Amino acid sequence: MNKFWIVMSHTYMTRFKTKSFLISTIITLLFVVGLANYQAIFDAFSDDGKSEIAVLDETGEFFKSLEKSVENANEDIDVIAYGKSVETGKKAVENEEFAALITLTLNANQLPEATYYASNIVDSAEQTAIQQQLQQLKVAAATKQAGVDQETITEIYSPVTFHTVALDESAKSSEELNQARGIVYVMLFVLYLSVITYGNMIATDVATEKSSRVMELLVSSVSPVTQMFAKIIGIALLGLTQVGLILGLGFTLLVSKQDELTGGVFQYFGIQGASPSLFIYALVFFILGYLLYATLAAMLGSIVSRTEDVQQLITPMIFLIMIAFFIAIYGLSAPDSNLVVISSYIPFFTPMLMFLRVGMLDIPFWEVALSLGILVGSIILLAVIGARVYKGGVLMYGKSSSLKDIRKAIALSKKE
């Protein structure tokens, strides 16, 4: 057992001191700080001045209405009546006296139409805002011509009243679904990135030791099975250290800036007001998902002698997590579909898809227990197979670029 702790601590400290780990952790922490202060950052880089847009109303009918509607709808835009020629107005825009020039005319049906002149047309938000207000003016003019009362038109275009009522008393409300969808979305990304990052780290670590012949010394003093699980746990602790730092900073910011952070990003992602049980399920599925893929990564890394071959060998594992991720993204809008339900019992997909179902739906506990049982059983089975492959794989040298080498590794493990 002492050897296990030595290998585990060595794996942890070696990776902890690497520049890549430290830099990625610092960048992530800075991202969390930036996310908590995003409004202040946006305000610092935003242009405080309003965009002044000159309006040449050749109809003499619509400027007042346009000015009022733009003022009510968008406080960042000021429309100014312009009485000179179009060519003079264009030159004023080129000289940056105005952000843009709009000319209002009447078409053959006596309805307003506009032309927008600007030095460039990359600011689509500004153009869209003006276009929306002009559209309302056009509707008002057309209804007036047709003799339709404006109140009638307003009633026609008002949103339909649509209530959603779940007859199942245990079904989640719309608010609960939105909260769950946000936290599930975050969890999917965290699990996806963690498996790819730390799984690749485990496989690369094993391959690096083999390529430097350190493995030959380790095998003589520590059993390969002990090495495998020590590396898995060591890198798991490394991941928990990184995640713990991020969550700790996030929680500190959430408490210290509670009034400022109410709503916004935290409410959108469901962090605010989410059920504690959802976070417990997130932790359970995260740990089990990591163990499943980490064991597979260690097994694949053990049959590789060169770090250059690692990516090729772990590509099937990456495909598995990508497929699970894409199904889960689809499941955010259809969590009760047959594809999601069936896939949630497939061990390599369970960490994402069963958590998705738990978060989005009110499913019987026996389904969760069954999926967890299958997942735990798969981890144990993969650990047994992986241990045998690892035991023989660490003794294999030469180019390994095929999954067929797993059989060679198992055959070598039987000879010991």
User: Is residue 74 predicted with pLDDT exceeding 80?
Assistant: no
User: Is residue 26 predicted with pLDDT exceeding 70?
Assistant: yes
Lowest mean pLDDT among 115-124, 174-183, 310-319: 174-183
Domain 48-157 CATH class label: alpha beta
pLDDT > 70 in the chain, percent: 72
User: Is residue 186 predicted with pLDDT exceeding 60?
Assistant: yes
Residues of the chain with CATH 3.40.190.10: 48-157
Distance CA 104, CA 124 (A): 19
What local confidence, expressed as pLDDT, does residue 229 receive?
Answer: 79
Question: Per-residue pLDDT tens for 351-395?
Answer: 888 888 888 888 888 999 999 999 999 988 888 877 777 766 666
Higher confidence at residue 147 or residue 330? Answer: 330
Question: Per-residue pLDDT tens for 84-140?
Answer: 888 888 888 888 888 888 888 888 888 888 888 887 776 677 778 888 888 888 887
User: Is residue 254 predicted with pLDDT exceeding 80?
Assistant: no
Lowest mean pLDDT among 126-140, 305-319, 338-352: 305-319
Q: pTM (2 decimals)?
A: 0.65
What local confidence, expressed as pLDDT, does residue 310 receive?
Answer: 73
* Number of alpha carbons in the 13 Å side-chain half-sphere of residue 158: 8
Question: Per-residue pLDDT tens for 209-231?
Answer: 666 655 555 555 666 677 777 87
What local confidence, expressed as pLDDT, does residue 286 receive?
Answer: 84
Mean of all residue pLDDT scores within the chain: 76
